[in-house]
Amino acid sequence: MSIFPTSAPHAHAPDSVPRIMGLVLLAVAPAMLYGIVLFGWPALNLFLVTVLACLLCEAVCLRLAGHAVRPFLMDGSALLTGILLALSLPPWAPWWIGVVGGFFAIVVGKQVFGGIGQNIFNPAMLARVALLVSFPVEMTFWLEPRPLFSSHAPGFMEGLAITFGGIPNIDAVSGATILGHIRTELGMSHALSQILPGHYHAGTAALGWTGGSLGETADFLVLLGGLWLLWRRVFTWHVPVAMLATVLALAGGLHLLDPERFASPAVHLLSGGLMLGAFFIATDPVTSPTTKLGQLIFGAGCGAFVYIIRTWGGYPEGVAFAVVLMNAATPLIDHYVRPRIYGRTWRGQSRPVSERAKRPPIKSGEAE
Amino acid sequence: MKLFDFWGGVHPAGQKHLSAEQAIQILPMPSRLHVPLQQHTGRSAVAVVKVGQTVRKGELLGQEQGGVSAPVHAPTSGVITAIGDFTAPHVSGLPLPTVTLESDGEDRWLEQEPPPDPFALEPEEVAARIGEAGIVGMGGANFPSAVKLSKARQARVHTLAVNGAECEPYMTCDDRLMRERAEHIVDGVRLMLHALQAPNAVIAIEDNKPEAVARMKAACQNEGQIRVVVVPSRYPAGSAKQLIQILTGLETPAGGRGTDTGVLVHNVGTAYAVHRALRQARPLISRIVTVTGGAVAEPKNLEAPIGALVEDLLAFCGGTTDAPARLLMGGPMMGHPLPGTQVPIVKGTNGILALTAAELRLAATPSPCIRCGRCVEACPMGLMPLEMSKRARHDDLDGAQAFGLIDCISCGSCAFACPSHIPLVQYFEYARGALEARQRAEQKARETRRLLEQRQARLVRAEQAKAEAAARRQAEKRQARMKGGATA
Ligand code: SF4
Ligand code: SF4
């Protein structure tokens, strides 16, 4: 059939895929810049390598598949995948982590499925999971923030050396994320009241002054960006609110039961990739359900998995796993959760109007 | 009065300012009119005039046939110069039987007796007169109004909802009609209530038309049974199903009628036409048409005779500035492209829209679906347009149907909202067409099979009859022989 749009509508909302991607890029930019400043030149190097790898892989795949490269590359989706992947990597990871991750995200995570819109899993998260499983050492190397140009930050050349040659004095710079720290200490059966003081301040955590991956630390900026996207109606509140509320509820409930074993909701909310995940990753339209109810279920599922993995699973952080697991459930959710059709019952039968319901909307003589 | 909400919907840019302040102007009578015999849902009218015949304004040109049909009348006085095919105002550009009338420039009315007091008439008689005046739904549904009224009276409808929502962007014909002829509309509403024998009417107007609201409220001041309600501006608030939902919170059952909810929806333009028919004995021979769009030099609201060419209307509005990127009959959400300007306006034409490329905001090519769900969110019918279109595109007609293809009202909200610019409605229309074709083919196959079986049965019967007849003859012969033998 011809696709010349001869049929209505002949008007269109001022929306397009590149525009949506552009807004998301803008929204994530502050957190991204903050993360780069916080972890210095090596972070910038890794960031650039990852993004370039993604763009290159996208271009090559498009060419191989015989698609027009430019329009698809310009839709911004590969760029966004690259950025989100970079943001979820340890900031001083070696360059090849970025390259392998980019390859995984774009080739295995997206193009193998048929390109934009066809993939089941969030490409960035699939890559992160793959990297974490394959290179556990590199993927769990965390360090305390060393902002650009501060006294103990590496200079430009040093930065290149770190990204492309490895970190010279590993033990001197390494530091654990708060979630990692809690896990290790709990493993040694220490109580939270002994573990946390000196390691965790809600204020510094929210401002991002903490160890973690590139973009996971500045929760405050991530939240602002997310709220801005909500306001611009790029996505609706359903996924992020369901995800955060579920983590909050589980963490709150268990914390009340045993505060020595279960970290408080604030710790959960303001650490790791939860905020980034809730606003920028789980909201990926392609891999989340299309109905509002489906999105609530999806968000709640993500939240529950995050909490379960963090608390009982084998890894201290679970956002990527949680999102990938719920991605896998999305086709099922979309199959079962459909809106009710106007004039039909949930089962699709015609829905009769009961005699009682047929009241006139106004009674004669009713006052204005 | 408590209002309810409808699902989904979108907020297209109204663009009504282009023509909203233009008072209705009367289009100078074109020298030639092309009046199609079918301007309504149902069976076509049949011409009752001959080429060369002179007619007066308001004289019958085509007689309705059958239960669901409507007559057409002469929009001016003059001579019939042709009866034959003429391009119809439809995207296909297929011709329709059309009466061509050459105006004599005198515009002389057919003499008619002054109409009796309509409130002294029986409801059925009022409906009959509405039918004789050729009135059809003027909001674009084109269903013969008299049929609708009679059916609704039998269904004991309690409320007449008068649709002045005019939710289509750009369109201002109903707005102007309400502002300028409020009393006549209200009179038409009272007459329809009489025809319906229903107690109440609600006139629904979107909140982007405050002046129309004020004028209509003033006109209804002394009408206890008619209420003006202001509904939020959101497309498609003016679609009958959604309007019923706004007013009553009820849904028209799938496969049922709007009247199943106790409400009958009619357009304000129809109410006005009813007033003209019953008070002045004037059939429906003209209507208000909004001529607008970024490519029209001077957008206007025109009272134009049915059968005037789009070309005539555009010329009166100063023509088009640049070549319009798209020329439509109706609004941008549900209107359809015209094959050219040499097509007549009909009873259901609310607007002529000449859009520039910038207004269309066309993407060069649709991009793949990113499953964003905006179409689902926008659909007022609770459908999943992305799933339907995916199936329609792969010719999985049953799949598309299972996702509610028949419940789609083609409102276009989904395609409007889609960031990938996928022409969703077009896929649905395609699938609907294919389904109809398939049903027709199945019907035909069934019919052929039936005929074949009948023929075979007939052949078998004939064979049998022949065999029986032969056997009988044999028996008779034998008997005769035996008898002959006995006598011999
Ligand atoms: S709005 Fe368009 S891109 Fe979004 S889900 Fe619907 S069809 Fe797909
Ligand atoms: S055109 Fe059909 S599917 Fe699309 S929004 Fe309207 S009713 Fe829903």
What domain count does chain B have? Answer: 2
Residue B486, Cβ density class (10 Å: 0-12 exposed, 13-18 middle, ≥19 buried) = exposed
Model confidence at A176, pLDDT cuts 50, 70, 90, reads low
- Ligand index nearest the alpha carbon of residue A342: 2
Q: Same domain for B273 and B377?
A: no
Q: Same domain for B125 and B271?
A: yes
User: A-chain residues within 8 Å CB-CB of B244?
Assistant: none
Q: Same domain for A261 and A154?
A: no
Residue A90 and residue A176 in contact, taking contact as beta carbons nearer than 8 Å = no
Share of chain B above pLDDT 90, in %: 68
Selection from B349, B184, B204 nearest residue B267 by Cα = B204
Which residue is it, tokens 């390598």?
A49
**Ligand 2 and B410: CB distance under 6 A:** yes
- The reply to whether A359 falls in a domain is no
Q: Same domain for B141 and B269?
A: yes
Q: In sequence order, which residues have a C-beta less than 8 Å from that of residue B20 and are 6 or more positions away?
A: B172, B175, B176
- The reply to whether B154 falls in a domain is yes
Choosing from B235, B256, B287, the residue where a domain stops is: B287
| pLDDT for the residue numbered A368 | 45
In tens, the pLDDT along A286-301 reads: 999 999 999 999 999 9
The mean per-residue pLDDT over the stretch A50-65 comes to 93
* pLDDT, averaged across chain B: 91
**Mutation site, B336, B367, B427, interface A, largest A CB count within 10 A:** B367
Using the predicted structure, report yes or no on whether residue A7 has a pLDDT greater than 70. Answer: yes
Compute the count of residue pairs across chains A and B with CB atoms less than 8 Å apart. Answer: 207
Which residue among A285, A353, A362 sits closest to B202, beta carbon to beta carbon? A362
- The reply to whether A88 falls in a domain is yes
Q: Is the peptide bond before B253 cis (omega within 30 degrees of 0)?
A: no
Q: Same domain for A169 and A251?
A: no
Q: How far is B88 from B441, CA to CA, in rounded Å?
A: 27
- The reply to whether B479 falls in a domain is yes
- The reply to whether B134 falls in a domain is yes
Choosing from B270, B287, B304, the residue where a domain stops is: B287
| pLDDT for the residue numbered A313 | 82
Look at ligand 2, atom 6, and give the residue with the nearest C-alpha: B411
Q: Same domain for A239 and A281?
A: yes
- Ligand index nearest the alpha carbon of residue B7: 2
The predicted model scores a pTM of: 0.88
Selection from B453, B432, B433, B435 nearest residue B443 by Cα = B435
What residue of B is the nearest CA neighbor of A352?
B253
- Ligand index nearest the alpha carbon of residue B409: 2
Q: Same domain for B268 and B395?
A: no
Which residue among A3, A352, A361 sits closest to B253, beta carbon to beta carbon? A352
In tens, the pLDDT along B126-162 reads: 999 999 999 999 877 788 999 999 999 998 899 999 9
Q: Within a 10 A sphere around the Cβ of B39, how many other Cβ atoms?
A: 26
- The reply to whether A79 falls in a domain is yes
Edge-to-edge strand list for the sheet holding B200-206: B226-231, B200-206, B159-164, B263-267
Q: Same domain for A169 and A240?
A: no
**Ligand 2 and B379: CB distance under 6 A:** yes
Half-sphere exposure of B373 (CA within 13 A, CB side): 25
Tell me, what CATH number does B279's domain have?
3.40.50.11540
Higher pLDDT, A363 or B268: B268
Which residue is it, tokens 């030639």?
B32
Which residue among A338, A342, A366 sits closest to B407, beta carbon to beta carbon? A342
Model confidence at A70, pLDDT cuts 50, 70, 90, reads confident
Q: What's the B307 CA to ligand 2 centre distance in angstroms? A: 32
Q: What's the B419 CA to ligand 1 centre distance in angstroms? A: 7
- The reply to whether A117 falls in a domain is yes
Q: What's the B380 CA to ligand 2 centre distance in angstroms? A: 7
What residue of B is the nearest CA neighbor of A120?
B371
Identity of the amino acid at A93: A
Q: Same domain for A143 and A240?
A: no
Using the predicted structure, report yes or no on whether residue B484 has a pLDDT greater than 70. Answer: no
Q: Same domain for B262 and B132?
A: yes
| pLDDT for the residue numbered A354 | 79
Q: How far is B261 from B244, CA to CA, in rounded Å?
A: 8
State the nearest Cα–Cα gap between A363 and chain B, in angstroms.
8
Model confidence at B357, pLDDT cuts 50, 70, 90, reads confident
- The dihedral built from the CA positions of residue B38, B41, B44 and B49, taken in this order, carries a sign that is negative
Residue A335 and residue A277 in contact, taking contact as beta carbons nearer than 8 Å = no
A81-95, A135-149, A304-318: range with lowest mean pLDDT:
A135-149
**Ligand 2 and B425: CB distance under 6 A:** yes
Let me know the angle formed at the C-alpha of A230 by A224 and A231, rounded to the nearest 5 degrees: 90
Q: Same domain for A241 and A112?
A: no
Q: Same domain for A168 and A22?
A: yes
Share of chain A above pLDDT 70, in %: 89
Q: Same domain for A91 and A205?
A: no
The mean per-residue pLDDT over the stretch B34-47 comes to 90
**Mutation site, B372, B376, B401, B429, interface A, largest A CB count within 10 A:** B372
Q: How far is A217 from A145, CA to CA, in rounded Å?
A: 10
**Ligand 2 and B408: CB distance under 6 A:** yes
Look at ligand 2, atom 8, and give the residue with the nearest C-alpha: B379
What domain count does chain A have? Answer: 2
- The reply to whether B57 falls in a domain is no
Model ipTM value: 0.87
Cα-based distances in Å from A21 to A25, A72, A125, A221, B198: 6, 12, 17, 18, 54
Model confidence at B485, pLDDT cuts 50, 70, 90, reads low
Q: Same domain for A246 and A156?
A: no
Q: Same domain for A118 and A80?
A: yes
Q: Same domain for B386 and B483?
A: yes
Residue-number span of the structural domain to which A89 is assigned: 17-176
Choosing from B287, B307, B327, the residue where a domain stops is: B287
In tens, the pLDDT along A121-153 reads: 999 999 999 999 999 888 888 777 777 777 777
- The reply to whether A127 falls in a domain is yes
The mean per-residue pLDDT over the stretch B231-251 comes to 94
Using the predicted structure, report yes or no on whether residue A320 has a pLDDT greater than 70. Answer: yes
- The reply to whether B172 falls in a domain is yes
| pLDDT for the residue numbered B135 | 94
State the nearest Cα–Cα gap between A223 and chain B, in angstroms.
21
In tens, the pLDDT along B444-474 reads: 999 899 999 998 988 898 889 888 888 888 8
In tens, the pLDDT along A230-269 reads: 999 999 999 999 999 999 999 999 999 988 888 888 888 8
- The reply to whether B49 falls in a domain is no
| pLDDT for the residue numbered B36 | 93
**Ligand 2 and B378: CB distance under 6 A:** yes
Residue-number span of the structural domain to which B475 is assigned: 366-488
The mean per-residue pLDDT over the stretch B241-255 comes to 94
**Mutation site, B11, B90, B213, B250, interface A, largest A CB count within 10 A:** B250
| pLDDT for the residue numbered A3 | 36
**Ligand 1 and B363: CB distance under 6 A:** no
And the tokens for A28?
């994530």
A94: left (phi over 0), alpha (psi -120 to 50) or beta: beta
Q: Same domain for A30 and A157?
A: yes
| pLDDT for the residue numbered A153 | 74
Instruction: Check CB contact under 8 Å for A17 and B377.
Output: no
Instruction: Check CB contact under 8 Å for B253 and A71.
Output: no
Q: Beta strands B200-206 and B226-231: pairing type?
A: parallel
- The reply to whether A25 falls in a domain is yes
Model confidence at A2, pLDDT cuts 50, 70, 90, reads very low
Q: Same domain for B24 and B162?
A: yes
Residue A321 and residue A365 in contact, taking contact as beta carbons nearer than 8 Å = no
Give B440-457 as a 3 state SS string: HHHHHHHHHHHHHHHHHH
Identity of the amino acid at A37: V
Q: Beta strands B25-26 and B46-47: pairing type?
A: unpaired
**Ligand 1 and B369: CB distance under 6 A:** yes
Share of chain B above pLDDT 70, in %: 98
Q: Same domain for A133 and A205?
A: no
**Ligand 2 and B412: CB distance under 6 A:** yes
- The dihedral built from the CA positions of residue A166, A171, A174 and A176, taken in this order, carries a sign that is positive
- The reply to whether A182 falls in a domain is no
- The reply to whether B152 falls in a domain is yes
- The reply to whether B114 falls in a domain is no
Choosing from A161, A176, A191, the residue where a domain stops is: A176
- The reply to whether A84 falls in a domain is yes
